[in-house]
Chain A
């Protein structure tokens, strides 16, 4: 498990958010399967060299978001019922935030909106090779 997640404590992004996003992404991608058991707070805290309270907070928030379920004495598991759907929606939110940040950055360095459109079209052509320009008229 130790190799699955990494965090960058020097980033301004709070560590617990980094970890929450990674776990949601892993669930959305099927790296963590429904019903799979997560390490204990103590285990994950030592594996990642993170404060145990930080890890406990991550588990609490994932439980609240319907990604994992915790049963006392047994441990924490990826929710079989709706866990993947919830994680996929959450991962989409992360992607939306990343796109928002990219556009904001483009604007902040003075790139005109037409030029930003152009950059987007190029990025989409690169990462969605089957995509055809006409399709996004409906967007």
Chain B
């Protein structure tokens, strides 16, 4: 468990609220310098995972380690967390929050904070209560990035921001990671995750469904698509092949979602003399949707 290249390790984490499981037996290792994207639909367990990691919720079982150690108060010196719901004081101004940050963190960088305030066009004299929702998110991000953290945990960091500011957030994340920080973030914007993250995990209904390097996950899945002159035939062996994600049959169209290169399946389908046959790549959004079972109606073979 004490792999020196692993900065964050989540070990068999389980959290139940009463009888209701929120996260079940989740294990993830996040290497140093990685930008790790956590994907999942609402209620998948992302926020619960973050809370358990940061000591804001007590895990039912399992553990979380940072650089091989359980969470301790000193670690917060080198860590920034931006929760999904803004946790700032509405009656305080932006400037007062910066001052509080300066007093709390040795590595607080006033120059950096000023650049970030300008980047997000935030008025430091205004009370947080007068900020828009997007500005409140931006303020939380300014505070998070002002201390040059080694570990950044961001829950939906771009929510409520306009596209320009969303891009700024990604660039900040990328800049920190390029300087050696380790970043864990959740997002519904899969396109952003696809750009910024080198690794992702897909959570669904509290369990880990898929995890790995983004490029590898993309390389690992293909769609073999065939059309026929009449209704798509049944292809023997498809349902028992472990490489098959699922099979979609709509009239003359046959689509098979495959793990691996799909060459065997392509050959098996070619033997049925389709009118057309091609192998398609998948992007992260396709992979996500098929992993959480939200893709075009699943139809089992035979």
B177:A52 contact, CB within 8 angstroms: yes
B174:A52 contact, CB within 8 angstroms: yes
Q: Which residues does chain A contribute within 8 Å of B198, judged by CB atoms?
A: 51, 53-54
Set A10, A11, A53: member contacting B34, Cβ < 8 A:
A53
Extra inter-chain contacts (15) besides given A9-B191, A15-B215, CB under 8 Å: A9-B194, A9-B284, A11-B281, A12-B282, A14-B219, A15-B194, A16-B215, A49-B170, A49-B174, A51-B195, A52-B33, A52-B178, A53-B34, A105-B278, A108-B277
Q: Which residues does chain A contribute within 8 Å of B197, judged by CB atoms?
A: 51
List 28 A-B residue pairs with CB atoms under 8 Å apart, sorted by A's residue number: A9-B195, A9-B284, A10-B285, A12-B282, A14-B215, A14-B218, A15-B195, A16-B215, A42-B178, A45-B175, A49-B196, A50-B195, A51-B35, A51-B177, A51-B197, A51-B198, A51-B214, A53-B33, A53-B34, A53-B177, A53-B198, A54-B215, A104-B278, A105-B278, A108-B277, A108-B278, A110-B275, A110-B276
Q: Give the residues from 257 to 302 in chain B that come closer than 8 angstroms, CB to CB, to chain A.
A: 275-278, 280-286
C-alpha gap A45/B196 in the complex (Å): 9
B167:A49 contact, CB within 8 angstroms: yes
B215:A45 contact, CB within 8 angstroms: no
Set A10, A11, A14, A51: member contacting B196, Cβ < 8 A:
A51
Q: Which residues does chain B contribute within 8 Å of A11, judged by CB atoms?
A: 281, 283
- Tell me, yes or no, whether A13 is within 8 Å of chain B by CB: yes
Q: What is the minimal beta-carbon distance from A41 to any residue of chain B, in angstroms? A: 6
Main secondary structure of the interface of B (DSSP, over half): helix
Q: Which residues does chain A contribute within 8 Å of B219, judged by CB atoms?
A: 14
In this complex, the member of A9, A13, A16, A45 whose beta carbon has the largest number of chain B beta carbons within 10 angstroms is A9
Chain A interface (Cβ < 8 Å from any Cβ of B)? 9-16, 41-42, 45-46, 49-54, 104-105, 108-110
Q: Which residues does chain B contribute within 8 Å of A9, judged by CB atoms?
A: 191, 194-195, 283-284
C-alpha gap A113/B197 in the complex (Å): 43
B174:A50 contact, CB within 8 angstroms: yes
Q: What is the minimal beta-carbon distance from A74 to any residue of chain B, in angstroms? A: 18
- Tell me, yes or no, whether B69 is within 8 Å of chain A by CB: no
- Tell me, yes or no, whether B162 is within 8 Å of chain A by CB: no
